[in-house]
Amino acid sequence: MSKLNRRHFLVTGLTAGAAAAIPAGAAHADPSPEAESAQSLASRGLTTDPFTLGVACGDPDSEGFVIWTRLAQQPLAEDGFGGMPQRPFTVQWQIYADERARRVVRAGATVAAPEWGHSVHVEVQGLGSDREYWYRFRVGPYVSPLGRARTAPHPLSYGGALAMAFVSCAQYEHGYFTSYRRLAEEHPDLVLHLGDYQYEYTKNSYTIPGGNVRHHEGPETETLANYRQRHAQYKADPDLQAAHAAAPWLVVWDDHELDNNWADEVPEKPEIPQPNFLSRREAAFRAYYENMPLRRTSIPRGIDMQLYRRIRWGRLATFHMLDTRQYRDDQGCGDGYRDCPAAVDPARSITGAAQEEWLLHGFRHSRAQWDILGQQVFFAQRDNNEGPAKVTSQDAWDGYVASRRRITQGWIDAQVRNPVVLTGDVHAHWASDLKLDYDDPTGPTVGSELVATSISTGGNGADSDPASHPFLAINPHLKFYNNQRGYVLTKIERSQMSADFKVVPQVQTPGGSVYTRATFVIEDRVPGVQQTYLRPLDPTLRSRGAMTVEETVRLETERP
């Protein structure tokens, strides 16, 4: 067991020196009398396993990563404390070089405090670059599940191919989290979650045709106790736990982690007085940090939380993780599809000035093969009107045209080698070319966008011929559409980035299978997406009462 230097001591908040070894066998070991006494003291007040919410890893760099857990004996307790005694608990942690958890390379102990929902965030450093590790926690006799972590390549190294998956939008009531389970089985190196990790609604206030398949506990989330309970309900799902334990995650929020379509300090429906909105925002941010594998730089301060950040995967890729909610101007003409003059106002921004400059500075100084924007809402233009009027979603980048143009021009001016935008939010798979001027379809393609469908939001959805979607005819830069559930699995190499659009046709019943609906490739220094595979449309899906394309467009326009 290597000794902890002073810097590591400060970073991890070590409180009890080097931790006693966690047994590699069963959760309940047969310790020495001295160890048994220490365990009894450490676990005083615990009567059942507190590791009911699993483990997670996040924000890797070339020397380490964050490991996370949260203690909760009764995850769905209405008071938000998870059935935990209101006192701190010392939690031991260990990092292993092997999957059997026999070779300990780092160890320590930290405090799970009631003020932070008994959550644990340990920033582990001093590890080897471009390597797999495993980790787990212990409090008293209770041992957590084992999680897999990974460090990034050395900053001057490209490393091997990166298997990266990205996901969004997991409405617990609409379906089972089978996509998370199938994603875990892919053994990715890195997972990006692009928002709507949980939904704020009370039971059955957001329903799918035929009715929801399971239900939210508690009221609509407004207080810290509400948000803690809702996060716990999601985290207790075994499929989600499997995905967290499979690989490190990079997380950013969208709207439902707080309130549908919120914008900075403005709630979804500003016409309805909500004097508690800022306290609600503070509670949501605090609960989000408590439940995510984030570094201390993201500890919330009142109603503010630093979530945009950069993660470098050696010289192969830089991930610019954006926050398009906390700093945006309010939607100019409401949230839906509008022909809105405010959409082109150069003074309006979806990122805020500071984040925009941070991103442009990152472009100017990037030496990565791939610059990848992990963000929330549709980036490319999607006009749903065949005539001269431009009718677009005001909640997406279409509602902030000048902001989008400044950022696009920024990566052009900086000569970013391969700009790629990754997106969630819209509950469907999309692939598109990016333009500086979408009114000139013959103009140069300057980037690529890949959009992941939802994990479960919207229920099963339906398959269709991608070319039949009317948006593709109106917007020729849009290249692919599919309205089923799933995720996107990418392989990032120096020569190309390939993207498999994975589909789980059935999420309203558990245990569904997965297949690749289409594959697109982005070649090095060749902006734009190129389709290399398209699975034929399954005729049996058409016979199950699947929605028409017009119905899917209407649902997207009207959805919460």
- Bridge partners (DSSP) listed for residue 387: none
Quick one: 125 and 177 in the same domain?
no
Quick one: 125 and 207 in the same domain?
no
Last residue of a domain, one of 102, 129, 150: 150
Distances (CA, A) of 420 to 222, 317, 450, 526: 35, 10, 8, 11
pLDDT tens for residues 404-450?
Answer: 999 999 999 999 999 999 999 999 999 999 999 999 999 999 999 99
Quick one: 129 and 171 in the same domain?
no
Q: Which two tokens stand for residue 500?
A: 């498999």
Quick one: 230 and 341 in the same domain?
yes
Quick one: 183 and 49 in the same domain?
no
Q: Which two tokens stand for residue 89?
A: 């608990």
Tell me whether residue 381 is in a domain: yes
CB atoms within 10 A of CB 191: 26
First to last CA, the chain: 51
Quick one: 50 and 144 in the same domain?
yes
CB atoms within 10 A of CB 413: 11
Amino acid 244 reads: H
Tell me whether residue 553 is in a domain: yes
Say what the pLDDT of residue 430 is.
Answer: 98
Q: Are 433 and 445 in contact (CB under 8 A)?
A: yes
Say what the pLDDT of residue 43 is.
Answer: 74
Tell me whether residue 156 is in a domain: no
Question: What is the domain range of residue 440?
Answer: 162-558
List all residues 6 or more positions away from 537 whose beta carbon is below 8 Å from its beta carbon: 463, 464, 465
Say what the pLDDT of residue 44 is.
Answer: 84
pTM of the model: 0.92
Tell me whether residue 155 is in a domain: no
Say what the pLDDT of residue 545 is.
Answer: 41
Quick one: 122 and 36 in the same domain?
yes
Quick one: 144 and 170 in the same domain?
no
Q: Are 175 and 213 in contact (CB under 8 A)?
A: yes
Q: Which two tokens stand for residue 478?
A: 């849009």
> What does the angle CA 289 – CA 293 – CA 294 come to, to the nearest 5 degrees?
60
Quick one: 389 and 512 in the same domain?
yes
Last residue of a domain, one of 150, 174, 204: 150
Amino acid 320 reads: H
Last residue of a domain, one of 108, 125, 150: 150
Tell me whether residue 1 is in a domain: no
DSSP H helical segments within 372-446, as ranges? 401-413
Residue 258 sits in a domain whose CATH number is 3.60.21.70
Quick one: 316 and 416 in the same domain?
yes
Q: Which of 509, 515, 449 is nearest to 477 (CA)?
A: 449
Q: Are 53 and 236 in contact (CB under 8 A)?
A: yes
Quick one: 252 and 378 in the same domain?
yes
Tell me whether residue 191 is in a domain: yes
Per-residue model confidence as pLDDT tens for the chain (560 residues): 333 333 332 333 333 333 333 433 333 333 444 444 555 556 788 999 999 999 999 999 999 999 999 999 999 999 999 999 999 999 999 999 999 999 999 999 999 999 999 999 999 999 999 999 999 999 999 999 999 999 999 999 999 999 999 999 999 999 999 999 999 999 999 999 999 999 999 999 999 999 999 999 999 999 999 999 999 999 999 999 999 999 999 999 999 999 999 999 999 999 998 999 999 999 999 999 999 999 999 999 999 999 999 999 999 999 999 999 999 999 999 999 999 999 999 999 999 999 999 999 999 999 999 999 999 999 999 999 999 999 999 999 999 999 999 999 999 999 999 999 999 999 999 999 999 999 999 999 999 999 999 999 999 999 999 999 999 999 999 999 999 999 999 999 999 999 999 999 999 999 999 999 999 999 999 999 999 999 999 776 554 444 455 665 666 666 66
Say what the pLDDT of residue 45 is.
Answer: 85
Domain count, the chain: 2
Quick one: 134 and 168 in the same domain?
no
Say what the pLDDT of residue 125 is.
Answer: 98
Tell me whether residue 212 is in a domain: yes
337-365 core/surface letters (b: 16 or more CB in 10 A; e: else): bbebebbebeebbbbbeebbebbbebbee
Residue 52 sits in a domain whose CATH number is 2.60.40.380
Tell me whether residue 65 is in a domain: yes
Q: Which two tokens stand for residue 120?
A: 């644990």
Identify the DSSP state of 263.
B
